[in-house]
Amino acid sequence: MNNSPKRVWITGASSGIGRALALHYARDGVFLALSGRNEARLQDVARACEEKGAQVEVVLLDVTSREEMIRYGQTLSSAGVPDLVIANAGISGGTGAAPDGEPLDQMFEIFDVNLTGVLNTVAAILPHMLKDNKGQIALMSSLAGFSGWPGSPSYSASKGAVRLYGEALRGSLQNTNVRVSVICPGFIRTPMTDVNKFHMPFLMDAEQSAKIICHGLQKNKVRIAFPWPTYVFSGFLGLLPGWLGLFLLSKFPTKPMQ
């Protein structure tokens, strides 16, 4: 690919979209930093990427630890600031139709990983990109972040916060050469969605989603949202009066707890 990144850091790279993105970017002359919490799965992804010619570094990192992330961002950038960083690490969970709603422990954990983890990733790499005045940051949101889903309150809220933060961050950096894009997928076939027992419209393979994401990043899109029918529907729900949107969303199936 023309203008493809040569140094890429992907968080949450051990499975799902993160794994698919790593394999998509893997090729001769590319360095991949793959981080996550499952060493066995990361090593498996690394081997597959190395077979495609990439140089790979596997790093066990907890995105909820700001100190850990900032330390690794410094170490990584000292050898060359990445061209692209994808803040992909995330978890999911719903109410499981429990009458008392979402467990508080699950709520805090989802926000810690999905939102604080993204902020820690940005904190780890943005100063180095600004110093070089170049680079691209991609933040993983979701189409669920366009409205508050009663069946998965923390997930939809955390992803909504990521989307708003990413789009605002891009605007605040408009006078620099650091680019920011927000990724908003619909239902993607990953371990995260495998637990869902309900029908997921326009379900897409992780490999196909990786191609769409990488194409959007290459085009420097502000928002990479797909598939388009789900995007249109999600956006429409977010525009409805609160009472009507909540009524429609309350009819949706509930997502299992973690």
Pinpoint the alpha helices (H) of the chain: 16-25, 39-51, 66-78, 104-111, 117-132, 153-172, 191-194, 206-218, 228-239, 242-249
Residue 121's closest CA among 165, 76, 86?
86
Environment class of residue 92 by beta-carbon count within 10 Å: exposed (0-12), middle (13-18) or buried (19+)? Answer: buried
Active site residue 25: no
CB of 157 closer than 8 Å to CB of 148: yes
Amino acid at 255: K
| Residue 82 phi, psi dihedral angles, 5° rounding | -60, 145
Q: What does the alpha-carbon distance between residue 42 and residue 29 come to, in Å, rounded to a whole number?
A: 20
Residue 239's closest CA among 231, 251, 227?
231
Q: What does the alpha-carbon distance between residue 12 and residue 41 come to, in Å, rounded to a whole number?
A: 11
DSSP 145: G
CB of 59 closer than 8 Å to CB of 35: yes
Catalytic choice (25, 72, 155, 165)? 155
Give me the active site residues, please: 155
